[in-house]
Each structure stands twice: as C-alpha cells, then as structure tokens.
Structure 1
Amino acid sequence: MKKNLLILLFFFLQVSFSQENIIIIDYTHHIHMKELPSATIVDARLTFNDTVSNYEMDFVGNLNFEEEKAGKEGGSVYAIKAKKNPHIFKNFIEKKISSIERVSMKPFYVKDTMNIFDWKIDTSKREILGYKCQKAKTHFRGREYIAYFTLEIPYPTGPWKFYGLPGVILSVESTDKVFKMNANQIVIKKTNETISNPFDEIVLKPITWESYIKEYEKKYYELKNYRGENGTTRSLPKKKIETIILETAPYIKD
C-alpha cells in the first residue's frame, strides 16, 4: 500500500512539473481604413507560452467569445463570412512570424523576421485589466504606434505581429487611429496542452517578406498599366496596414 502511494505521488509530481503556463488573451481587433465609411471590428485571441505565440482573428465566428462586439465604437462586425480565420504565428526559437499575405486574391505563405520593431519605452503608465502597464512607441512599415505592455506577464509577444517588449502587449494603437487592439480578458493556466502551428499542414512554399513585396510590386505595376475595353482600370493599394509599395519602389517589367 505504501509503495503504491509513493508511485502515485511520484506520478503526480512528474505531471505537475511537466505542466507549463499557457496564457490566453482576448482582444478587440479594430481596423478603420480612411477610405471606408466604417470600421471592421472582430474578436481575436492570443495564445502563447515560452516558445510560440498564435494570434487568431475570429472572422469565422467559431472561438465562442462571451461578449458581442457588434456596433462598438461606431463600427460593424465583419459582414462577409470567411471560410478560415487568419492567424499570425510567432516562433520565438526560430525568430519568425508566419502569416498568409495576399496579392489580389492569391495567397502567399510569408515567414517574416522578428527583428522588425524598434521600440522606445516611455515613463508613462496605466492599468489594464488590473495589470500595471508601461507605454512604448514604435514606427512600423508606414505607421506610428503606441503600445502598453505589462512586466507582470513577462513574455515578449503581443497581438497581431507586435513583438519585442519585455512584457506582453495589452493595448496597441496606430496614431492615425486606423489600427488598434485592446485586451478585454486574460486567462493563465497550467496545462500539458501544446500550441499547434496553424501553418504546419499548408501546401504553400514559405517566402520572405522581401519576396512577397516583389510579388506585390509585379501585380501593382501590371494593374497600373491595365486598361479595359471601356477604359476601365484596376489597382492595388500601396498601403494596407503595412506599406507595401514605397515611393522609391523600382518599376518591375518582368
């Protein structure tokens, strides 16, 4: 009997020590491009541990969020039903950020570097969901951003592609008010679960951000020179959330 109790205790300790923290943060994901009459607002979920981080934007509506965000801040929930939720997956070991980026409707599997943020930490502070947060600023691909991160959750990740501060980012907003994400719930749990990479089974060959830019430039200039039978034109934007076409971009003929 005593031997059996020792075995059970040993098994319990092994399980306890093998468990790691997984942190889940729910955000309101808000985009309001200036050329559009209203904002697009969706729920999003950041799930992360010591090695990986996955940010999922719930365009499909399958993450079972408790609160309905429709109509908040004068915006509207995304009206077109998507087949799959978009993901931003960060691998802290590889120092890569994976995402699907598009040229028109054609998808590209992009593995971007994590060394893309140059943060300036400010002395300003605020509280978010009971956590003490500190202000930081950065310029990223055409926009200025203000973020608030907390050292009380010392993981260098955040919503969307944001990364690189000494604590998780709970709030981030572009100074032009186009793009912002605010945390509204935090859950920390010990578990044996792993965080799967949503791109593990993708058939597309990964490319770099620089290669994606070249693909985008080719299509941009192709459409720029397009004239339909009735003089109709088609175009791609130079700037989405990130600036794609720089003013100094080369004219690509082939």
Structure 2
Amino acid sequence: MKKFSILFLLFSVLISAQNNRMIYEYTFRPDSTKVDSLKTEWMYLDISKNGSKYYSKSTFESDSIVNESIKKQMAAGMKSISVSRNQRGGEVSYEVEKSYPDYKTNLISRVGNDSYKVLEDRKLNWKILPYKMKIGEFNAQNATTDFAGRKWTAWFTTDVPVLDGPYKFSGLPGLIVEISDATGSHKMELKGIKKLKEIKEEELNAQGKDIPFTKKKPIEVNRQQYIKQLKQYENDPVQGMREIMNQPNSKIKVNINGQEFTDPKDVLRALEQNAREEMKKNNNKIELQP
C-alpha cells in the first residue's frame, strides 16, 4: 500500500507539472437506420493546468494541410484560392473546451461556413454506483447520467488525478476511461496517455478574405442562439456560401470528392446536394437534444 501511495504521488506531480494528452478511441454510428454504419475516430483530450481541449486528430491534421495550401497560394499571389473539400478528413469537426477549476464547458462547432462557441448551461448529474472492474491498467468504478437526450454509462478511475473526460463529460472524482450511451451508438475508450509540450495552434491569416471550409474565429452564442443557427442551416445549408459568392470580385473553385466546380450555380448546387446528403446520413448525433 505504501508503494502504491508513493507511485501515485509521483504521477500526480508529473501530470500537474506538464501537459498531457489522453487518447480516446471514439466509435459511433452516424446513421441510426444502418447497423453497419459504425465509424471510428481517434480523439485527443489535451490537458493543461488551465483546462482541457477535446478534438479529432484527423480533423486537426486536415485543417493544418488546408491552411498550409492556402498560405502557399496567397504567398504566390494567386487571385483564385483553391480549397479541396476532401482534404478536411475527420468525421468529427467539433471541439470541446473546458476551463479549470470551474469546468466551464464550451462547444466549438462549425455550422455551414461559420464557427460558433456555445457555452454549455446544462449540469451533469452523476449517479455513482458501487460496481468496480479493471479496465486496462486502471481500477475503474461505474457511474451513470442523462445528458442531451441520451442515457450514459461511464467508468472512471481515481488512479489518474484528473477530474475530466472526453466530450463534455466531467464532474466525477477521477478520469473517465470509458463512456457509452444506452443504444450503443456512441462509445469513447481511453487508449493511452502521452506527455507533450504545449501546442500553440496557429491561426490562418486570410488577409481579410472569407475563404470557405477554413477554421474561423468562433462567434460566441448561447445554446438557444446556436439551436437557431442549426435550424437555419438545415433549411438553407448554402446560405453562408451564397453570401460569400455575392461579394464583388468573388471567385471560388471548389473540389468535392475529386470533382471540381467553378461556375457559381454549379458550386452552390453541388454544395447543397452534398450538405443534404450528409445531414441525411448523420441523423444519430451525439446530442439528440442540442
């Protein structure tokens, strides 16, 4: 017991003294009508002394590639910026940020051509149960909660002195190592912990240009305002693109899954068709009630 206490103390010092990355495997079924639509995404939960950030590895890497391509085109003085939609990669485009020690939680979500920062105003009410088991190398305990229209079952460990977890989940006396919803549609499993240096995300300097499909500074809204934006997007998924293309001297070339479009009417038609197909296939979101 004494040996365990010493190891635990040393690990506490390490994890509080530097940044750590919790690596989760996120398995989800985007289309509730298709049992075989199961997908997997590697997610990062980066933890620092001031808070955490949860995001997709693939989307982060794809955004970096797109930004580098745009910077090279702008440096070369190209008047027409080419953005390949299939470079975005990653099925998960949202991010979740939490601040410590108050655990204030914000969703960073892309809707159309805009990005929104949404403060979460719903509290997680956990019911900690006596059930325990070993998950990987961790001693874990069971807890349940209802959130955003789903019933969730979590396993957390006090072996790691972090009171956080993937997505918006936190508030348990330890790190969440596994969490899944009652339907089996969404599941997040901790697969590794990595020490890392601080990562400073570089913002794209678009030199005043509104370039589609690029990561933008999010607009801060409350949850009701965000729901309104979601409904507007569902009704007209190319509204933002239409506004960009109506600007003077605006020329946009879009590549969607290998097919290039330059004529404004073709661009809007292709983007709307693609957006509606994606919405139809993505009917089983992690939040049934945003």
Q: Would you say same fold, with TM above 0.5?
A: yes
Query: 2:202 and 2:26 mapped to 1: Cα distance?
Result: 19
Query: 1:115, CA displacement in angstroms?
Result: 5.0
Q: Report the structure, 1 or 2, having the larger helix content.
A: 2
Gapped regions of structure 2 (runs ≥ 5): 1-12, 63-85, 205-214, 238-272
How far 1:118 moved relative to its partner?
A: 0.9
- Structure 1 residues 21, 219: CA separation in 2 closer, same or farther (over 3 Å shift)? closer
After TM superposition, the structure 1 = structure 2 runs for residues 1-254 of structure 1, keeping only pairs within 5 Å, are 20-33=17-30, 34-36=32-34, 37-60=36-59, 62=61, 81-82=87-88, 86-93=94-101, 95-103=103-111, 105-113=112-120, 115-187=122-194, 189=195, 193-194=197-198, 196=200, 202-220=216-234, 240-244=285-289
- TM normalised by structure 2 equals 0.58
Q: CA deviation at 1:205?
A: 2.1
CA change 1:209–1:196 in 2 (3 A) is farther
Counterpart amino acid of residue 35 in structure 1: T
1:126 Cα offset (Å): 1.5
TM-score normalised over the length of structure 1: 0.65
CA deviation after TM superposition for structure 1 residue 54, in Å: 1.4
Question: SS of the residue aligned with 1:59?
Answer: helix
CA contact (8 A) 1:98 1:109 kept: no
Question: Secondary structure, in 3 states, of the residue corresponding to 1:116?
Answer: coil
Per-residue Cα deviation, 1:148-198 (whole angstroms, up to 9, x for no partner): 1111213221111211111110100011011111111123x4x7x446578
- The residue identity in structure 1 corresponding to 2:139 is K
Shift of 1:140: 0.6
Q: Name the Cα RMSD after superposition.
A: 3.6
- SS of equivalent to 1:214: helix
| TM-superposition CA deviations, 1:5-56 (whole Å, max 9, x none) | xxxxxxxxxxx99x81433221111111313442120111212134211112
Give 1:205's aligned amino acid. Answer: I
Q: Which has the higher contact order (CA 8 A, sep 6+)?
A: 2
